[in-house]
Chain A
Amino acid sequence: MYPNIKKILTISLLTLGLANLLTGQPMAAEITSKLGIEARLFPKSPAYEGQEHHDGSAMAEVEMYHGFDSGSSITITPFARVDYADSERTHFDLREFNYLHVADSFEITAGISKVFWGSTEIHLVDIINQTDMVESLKGEDKLGQPMVRTSWSRDWGTVDTFILPYFRERTGPGTDGRLRLPLPVDYGEAEYESSAEQYHIDLALRYAHTLGDVDFGIYHFAGTSREPIYRLNLSNPNAPEFTPYYELIQQTGVDFSYVAGRWLWKGEALYRIDSLYGDFAAAVAGFEYTLVGILESDVDLGLIAEFSRDGRDKRLVPLYQKDIMTGLRFAFNNAASTDLLCGLAYDIDHYSQIYSLEFNHRLGEDWKITITSWLFSHIGDADPAQTLSEDDMIRIELFYYF
């Protein structure tokens, strides 16, 4: 879909020029750029041949924004990463390329955009955008999704409709990359249940509202599942590999948060009609309790606990199938906006433990350092996370904003 960067930039400039002509307003785009370098260290010996102990990469994200007096706007956000060890991590994406039109209680977004749904730390119901899995295991990095979205806000809530005319395939590490599946994945040969393949038109409808201390949303999605099923391909018996398969699903999801003083209760649940592997339900529920100014300091401590249950066949769910996730979130409330999130996910069926750590700290006005670590401990042999058991990771990122 994205043949080369030069073409994209040409289109971007032409769009700005066109908007300029149409509106008769000077198009002075507000440009915000983020550049980053990254080192990833894997202390344990690799499980698969070709994998390395360390990896380096660089990324850039540039947001070009122009707002009109009416409140409408154009946003173009190209993103690129170049990776030293894993060619699949070298990738380009248009995170955003859209026109947002704002009318009285109505807005419409046309183009490539990003939408988030959900309330918990473990993301379950979020479905509009595909996950950019080579970026992070956490699943919070998303690929830009082409869409026409309408949103209608009234006293009784907000109704959003989505027409999603093009499907984005999930990214993943290559054969030489760490954190990969047990067999190589043939990303270029994805298969679809729909004969229209990537051009199947997916639809979604969501209603969301706030009632006092409760925020909630309910949606229905009909279209191509964002989660691939990796099917074993033995066409070359000497080099077995996985082929991603994307089925058509119907999914209803709900999410809520309820704030009660220092308690924040959260939950997400979904029911998926899945013709291939059978219908199932899944849910995550938990809380975050905030202690303000611990030990007479300025530091706030959030205590997080979430329980997840996924009704799917165990073999199909890589993470959080039946898990308890606990976490400590420290917010230092200092000039550098330092924060630290320590987490432990415990798999009840397989007794596996995944420890995670995320640290953010601003350096001066324009720099930021982020340190992320994942430790995979006592991973059971039958746990789908087994493939990650040798991939303990320390990731250090340095960002410059201008």
Chain B
Amino acid sequence: MRFILVQILIAAVTISSVFAQTAEEKGLAIAVEADQRDIGFIDSTANMRMVLRNRHGQESERKIRVRTLEQEDDGDKSLSIFDTPRDVKGTAFLTYTHKSGDDDQWLYLPALKRVKRISSRNKSGSFMGSEFSYEDIASQEVEKYTYKFIKEERFAGLDCYVAESYPVDQKNSGYTRMVSWRDKAEYRLWKVEYYDRKKSHLKTLLFTEYGQYLEKYWRAGTLKMVNHQNGKSTDLFFAEYAFQTGLKDKDFNKNSLKRAK
């Protein structure tokens, strides 16, 4: 289904590019191309270090292991396991991302050995006290937004497309729009600006230290999110990226959530 949809979109994009393309069509075409370039990674694992900084510069750190499994006809499945802070060690999130509708999400509480279904409607809520919300952390599916191309601009020394995206689920998203900078050569994200429900500039996310894996897939090594309204920031540092490690669907069910250490 995904491939058919993508092919239709590509056909639509190709046909329309022959003629005059609207800003909305061009915005969508960029998002589809970026998504297309990431198809086929199959699965990935990485270690993430999250550094939370308050407005006084005080830092606190979380270490999280992330496992992702690509799905052919739906959004990705992912498992995030906390190693620190030590009081939440072993706490884990299992997420089934869906292209449309709410994601499925479960939380594992190791002290009680309890798996809890949680509402994924809490999109705008903070992810573990960081400046990233659940919707920022979740797999970015093309279908979750509508798009509009704005302009081309030099950013981070590269020729970039600047496009806006608007959440389809406007009621539960924390944003009215996002502005993103993608380089024209590789369609990598370099910067995203987030505008809140009052349309004021809430946060800015910067991507750096990209690495290419399997000679195809680009992943940023560092993500820096700054909240302009509360003065806090969160940095994510990714290390030990591995692809096609042999993860299967059975590694992303409630039993595997319970034994994820």
> Does B89 reach chain A (CB closer than 8 Å)?
yes
**Docked complex: B213-261 residues within 8 A CB-CB of A:** 250, 253-255, 259, 261
Give the CA-CA distance A293 to B112 in the complex, in Å.
27
> Of A99-107, A229-237, A374-382, which stretch is located at the interface?
A99-107
Give the residues in chain A near B118, CB-CB below 8 Å. 259, 264
> Does B126 reach chain A (CB closer than 8 Å)?
yes
Given that A215-B117, A261-B119, A335-B54 are known contacts, is A292 also in contact with B125, CB under 8 Å in the complex? Answer: yes
> Does A298 reach chain B (CB closer than 8 Å)?
yes
A259 partner, pick from B54, B86, B117, B128, beta carbons under 8 A: B117
Write the nearest CB–CB distance from B176 to chain A, whole angstroms.
Answer: 15
Given that A261-B102, A290-B119 are known contacts, is A335 also in contact with B87, CB under 8 Å in the complex? Answer: no
Write the nearest CB–CB distance from A359 to chain B, whole angstroms.
Answer: 14
> Does A334 reach chain B (CB closer than 8 Å)?
yes
B255 partner, pick from A158, A259, A264, beta carbons under 8 A: A158
Given that A114-B113, A335-B60 are known contacts, is A153 also in contact with B250, CB under 8 Å in the complex? Answer: yes
- Please state if B122 and A399 are interface contacts (CB–CB under 8 Å): no
Write the nearest CB–CB distance from B130 to chain A, whole angstroms.
Answer: 8
Closest A residue to B128 using CB positions: A337
Number of A-B contacts (CB under 8 A): 101
> Does B129 reach chain A (CB closer than 8 Å)?
yes
Give the residues in chain B near A84, CB-CB below 8 Å. none
> Does B114 reach chain A (CB closer than 8 Å)?
yes
> Does B33 reach chain A (CB closer than 8 Å)?
no
Interface centre among B84, B86, B112, B250 (most CB of A within 10 A): B86
Give the residues in chain B near A118, CB-CB below 8 Å. 114
> Does A355 reach chain B (CB closer than 8 Å)?
no
A365 partner, pick from B84, B114, B259, beta carbons under 8 A: B84
- Please state if B122 and A210 are interface contacts (CB–CB under 8 Å): no
Give the residues in chain B near A213, CB-CB below 8 Å. 102, 104
Write the nearest CB–CB distance from B235 to chain A, whole angstroms.
Answer: 13
Write the nearest CB–CB distance from B253 to chain A, whole angstroms.
Answer: 6
**B65-107 interface code vs A (CB 8 A; 1 in, 0 out):** 0000000000000000000111111000000000000101010
> Does B201 reach chain A (CB closer than 8 Å)?
no
> Does A373 reach chain B (CB closer than 8 Å)?
no
For the complex, count residues of A whose C-beta is within 8 A of B: 49
Given that A114-B113, A259-B117, A292-B124 are known contacts, is A401 also in contact with B86, CB under 8 Å in the complex? Answer: yes
Write the nearest CB–CB distance from B129 to chain A, whole angstroms.
Answer: 5
- Please state if B117 and A32 are interface contacts (CB–CB under 8 Å): no
- Please state if B259 and A73 are interface contacts (CB–CB under 8 Å): yes
Closest B residue to A401 using CB positions: B86
> Does B188 reach chain A (CB closer than 8 Å)?
no
**B42-73 interface code vs A (CB 8 A; 1 in, 0 out):** 00000000001010000011000000000000
> Does B121 reach chain A (CB closer than 8 Å)?
yes
Give the CA-CA distance A65 to B61 in the complex, in Å.
23
Give the residues in chain A near B124, CB-CB below 8 Å. 292-293
> Does A140 reach chain B (CB closer than 8 Å)?
yes
**Docked complex: A76-93 residues within 8 A CB-CB of B:** none
> Does A257 reach chain B (CB closer than 8 Å)?
yes
Write the nearest CB–CB distance from A126 to chain B, whole angstroms.
Answer: 9
Give the residues in chain A near B52, CB-CB below 8 Å. 335
Given that A116-B112, A153-B253, A261-B102 are known contacts, is A293 also in contact with B128, CB under 8 Å in the complex? Answer: no
- Please state if A262 and B86 are interface contacts (CB–CB under 8 Å): no
- Please state if A300 and B125 are interface contacts (CB–CB under 8 Å): yes
Give the CA-CA distance A277 to B1 in the complex, in Å.
58
Give the residues in chain B near A30, CB-CB below 8 Å. 261
Give the residues in chain B near A24, CB-CB below 8 Å. none
Give the CA-CA distance A208 to B87 in the complex, in Å.
29
Closest A residue to B127 using CB positions: A333
Give the residues in chain A near B61, CB-CB below 8 Å. 365
> Does A188 reach chain B (CB closer than 8 Å)?
no
**A16-38 interface code vs B (CB 8 A; 1 in, 0 out):** 00000000000000101010000
- Please state if B85 and A262 are interface contacts (CB–CB under 8 Å): no
> Does A278 reach chain B (CB closer than 8 Å)?
no
- Please state if B86 and A402 are interface contacts (CB–CB under 8 Å): yes
Give the CA-CA distance A131 to B223 in the complex, in Å.
45
**A45-57 interface code vs B (CB 8 A; 1 in, 0 out):** 0000000000000
**A125-168 interface code vs B (CB 8 A; 1 in, 0 out):** 00000000000000010000000000101000010000000000
Question: Which 7 A/B pairs are nearest by Cβ-Cβ distance?
Answer: A401-B86, A333-B126, A116-B114, A335-B60, A116-B113, A257-B117, A368-B87
List 20 additional contacts besides A71-B259, A153-B255, A158-B255; criterion CB under 8 Å.
Answer: A32-B86, A100-B259, A104-B250, A114-B113, A140-B112, A153-B253, A158-B254, A213-B102, A213-B104, A257-B117, A259-B119, A261-B102, A261-B119, A292-B124, A333-B129, A335-B54, A337-B129, A362-B87, A365-B60, A402-B86
Q: Which A residues are closer than 8 A to B by beta carbons?
A: 30, 32, 34, 65, 67, 71, 73, 100, 102, 104-105, 107, 114-116, 118-119, 140, 151, 153, 158, 208, 210, 213, 215, 257, 259, 261-264, 290, 292-293, 298, 300, 333-337, 362, 364-366, 368, 399, 401-402
A-B contact pairs, 29 of them (CB 8 A): A32-B89, A65-B261, A71-B259, A73-B259, A104-B250, A107-B259, A116-B114, A119-B117, A140-B112, A153-B250, A158-B254, A158-B255, A208-B254, A210-B104, A259-B102, A259-B120, A264-B118, A292-B122, A293-B124, A300-B125, A333-B129, A334-B129, A337-B128, A365-B85, A365-B86, A366-B87, A401-B85, A401-B86, A402-B86
Q: Which B residues are closer than 8 A to A by beta carbons?
A: 52, 54, 60-61, 84-89, 102, 104, 106, 112-114, 116-122, 124-126, 128-129, 174, 250, 253-255, 259, 261
